[in-house]
Each structure stands twice: as structure tokens, then as C-alpha cells.
């Protein structure tokens, strides 16, 4: 596991983590303004000391179990 501090210039990582890759573009467009508001709030709080830490894991290979 890799724990990283997110700086203000890397807040786009937050958006990538919050939205599952399977979410279609239309839904991403709809939620964009909400995410923009969240990013603005985070930036404001970071200016007074908020720190964002993100824990990232290597992708797991899922094993299928065949029960016959």
C-alpha cells in the first residue's frame, strides 16, 4: 500500500478516486459541478491546514472459483 499526501495542484486525483471508471461520460458531466464544489471546499480548507492523504493499493487479481 502506498500512502500519498495530495497537494492542491494534484486534487484531480480526488476526482479520479471518487468516480468509478465504469461511470459513463454523461454521469461524469452531471456530477462535474458537484465535484468542482467539493474541490473548491477542499482548497479553502487546505489553506487553513487540511491535509489529504490517499492510500493506494496495487490492483488485485481476482480469482474465480468454479463450483461444479
What per-residue string of b and e applies to 18-42 under the rule 16 or more CB within 10 Å gives b?
eeeeeeeeeeeeeeeeebeeeeeeb
Q: Confirm whether 61 is domain-assigned.
A: no
> What pLDDT digit, counting tens, does each position of 6-62 carry?
899 988 777 766 667 777 888 878 877 788 888 899 999 999 999 998 887 776 655
Q: Which pLDDT belongs to residue 28?
A: 78
Per the structure, the complete domain to which residue 50 belongs is given by 2-56
Q: Which pLDDT belongs to residue 41?
A: 92
> Is there a contact between 43 and 12 (Cβ–Cβ < 8 Å)?
no
Is the predicted pLDDT of residue 68 greater than 50, yes or no? no
Domain tally, the chain:
1
Q: Which pLDDT belongs to residue 59?
A: 67
Alpha helices, H only, the chain:
12-18, 25-46
What's the distance, CA 13 to chain centroid?
A: 5
Q: Confirm whether 63 is domain-assigned.
A: no
Amino acid at each position: 500500500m502506498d500512502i500519498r499526501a495530495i497537494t492542491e495542484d494534484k486534487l484531480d486525483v480526488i476526482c479520479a478516486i471518487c468516480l468509478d471508471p465504469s461511470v459513463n461520460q454523461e454521469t461524469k458531466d452531471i456530477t462535474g459541478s458537484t465535484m468542482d464544489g467539493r474541490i473548491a471546499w477542499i482548497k479553502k480548507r487546505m489553506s487553513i491546514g487540511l491535509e489529504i492523504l490517499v492510500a493506494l493499493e496495487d490492483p488485485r487479481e481476482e480469482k474465480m472459483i468454479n463450483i461444479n
